[in-house]
Structure 1
Amino acid sequence: MTKSTNITWHNTTVSKTDRQIQNAHSSCVLWFTGLSGSGKSTVANAVSRELYRQGINEYVLDGDNIRHGLNKDLGFSDHDRTENIRRIGEVAKLFVDSGKVVTTAFISPFRSDRDQVRALFDDKEFIEVFVDCPLEECEKRDTKQLYAKARRGEIKEFTGIDSPYEAPERPEITIHTEKITVEEAIEQVLSYLREQNVI
């Protein structure tokens, strides 16, 4: 496919800063990463609900939901996983530009992919949240039986079984979901946002 070179970025009349001032809070992406079953979506949605309750403009981008629409043409090969994360990064950037605090819940197993997404954002706008949960615990929580299917060979290239997960080296936040409650996880994230003057 030949890419067009006749395109120019169009600066809008209303800026990101204008929207942040109107919102009375900053904008950023909370990038939740971790194994399937670690609690990414649960915590991301709980954080989003609490932000909403506090009057913060927020939105959740969830891995499964995105694959129902925008990324329904992608599979789970290494190449498709990388493209999945690239697209989500671009969408998250638009949400941050709109002045929202956007939470994302994606396994995003490859460190290099997450680093490329981080590079899209201004300083302190990308907050990597490592939902650190042991594989054994994730398998115990496996309500969809995905791990069991992967171990039987029914699902190929499943992260944590026959496809690697590269844990973040320096995440802004690490949540140990096997040790704390959802409420404690919410407070951990919101405390960080307050410390960084996001909210």
Structure 2
Amino acid sequence: MVKSSNTVWHHATVTRARRAQMNGHRSAVLWFTGLSGAGKSTLAHAVEESLHQQRCHTFVLDGDNVRHGLCSDLGFSAEDRGENIRRVGEAAKLLVESGAVVMTAFISPFRLDRDRARGLFPHGDFIEIWCNAPMEVCEKRDVKGLYRRARTGEVKEFTRISSPYESPLSPELEVDTGSLPLEVCVGQVLDMLRLRGVITEMANE
């Protein structure tokens, strides 16, 4: 993709640091990755609900929602999936600059695409969370029947059926979403955010 040579980045007077001071918490992106049915969206929205109740500024970029608008022109080839994640990464970067704790819930099956997204952020601002659930559990949760349709060839380029999933090698957090209760998974994410200084104990009061 060729970038225009006629654009210049505008530096606003209201900075990310000033927004963090006003909000009472740092901004960051929580990048939830995992198989279809692993619980990415469920966990991301549950974490957002908890943070919202603590008066944190949040936003969830959900895979299906983004493909209704921002990425509605993309399919599911490896190239289109790469472009999908590129756009999501850029959108998340803008939202992090706005002061929000951003949660992205995408399969994002390829390490290269996730690494490129990570490269958009300063060190420590990109938190990869692997929702690790066995494939058989994911299939049991599949209310849309996507795994079944993928096995018959009706759905093409489906992760772990006709397209690979490259598991994270060193995620900031691995959550056993296949067997742990949702509230335990949420607690693990919140504990990590406190440990990394994104939120503080004061956010609970």
Fold-level similarity (TM above 0.5): yes
Give the Cα–Cα distance (whole angstroms) in 2 for the partners of residues 118 and 67 of structure 1: 21
Look up the match of 1:70.
70
Give the Cα–Cα distance (whole angstroms) in 2 for the partners of residues 4 and 182 of structure 1: 45
Give the Cα–Cα distance (whole angstroms) in 2 for the partners of residues 90 and 157 of structure 1: 24
Aligned residues: 199
Look up the match of 2:49.
49
Where in structure 2 are the equivalents of 1:169-188 lying within 5 Å?
169-188=169-188
Look up the match of 2:113.
113
Q: Percent identity?
A: 57
* Cα displacement (A) at 1:3: 4.1
Where in structure 2 are the equivalents of 1:70-109 lying within 5 Å?
70-109=70-109
Give the Cα–Cα distance (whole angstroms) in 1 for the partners of residues 185 and 2 of structure 2: 46
Where in structure 2 are the equivalents of 1:148-187 lying within 5 Å?
148-187=148-187
* Cα displacement (A) at 1:6: 1.6
Give the Cα–Cα distance (whole angstroms) in 1 for the partners of residues 158 and 179 of structure 2: 25
Look up the match of 1:189.
189
Look up the match of 1:144.
144
* Structure 2 spans left out of the alignment, 5+ residues: 200-205
Give the Cα–Cα distance (whole angstroms) in 1 for the partners of residues 2 and 31 of structure 2: 32
Alpha-carbon displacement from aligned partner over 1:151-188 (angstroms, at most 9, x marks no partner): 01100110010100000000001011122100000000
1:36 aligns with 2:36: yes
Tell me the SS of whatever aligns to 2:129: strand
- Using the size of structure 2 for normalisation, the TM-score is 0.95
Alpha-carbon displacement from aligned partner over 1:123-156 (angstroms, at most 9, x marks no partner): 1100000000111111111111000000011001
Alpha-carbon displacement from aligned partner over 1:55-83 (angstroms, at most 9, x marks no partner): 11001100000000000000000000000
* Cα displacement (A) at 1:50: 0.4
Give the residue type in structure 2 aligned to 1:181.
P
Give the Cα–Cα distance (whole angstroms) in 1 for the partners of residues 184 and 79 of structure 2: 36
RMSD: 0.9
Give the Cα–Cα distance (whole angstroms) in 2 for the partners of residues 150 and 86 of structure 1: 25
Give the Cα–Cα distance (whole angstroms) in 1 for the partners of residues 146 and 2 of structure 2: 38
Give the Cα–Cα distance (whole angstroms) in 2 for the partners of residues 182 and 2 of structure 1: 43
Look up the match of 1:132.
132
Where in structure 2 are the equivalents of 1:4-15 lying within 5 Å?
4-15=4-15
* Structure 1 spans left out of the alignment, 5+ residues: none
Give the residue type in structure 1 aligned to 2:31.
W
Give the Cα–Cα distance (whole angstroms) in 2 for the partners of residues 43 and 4 of structure 1: 38
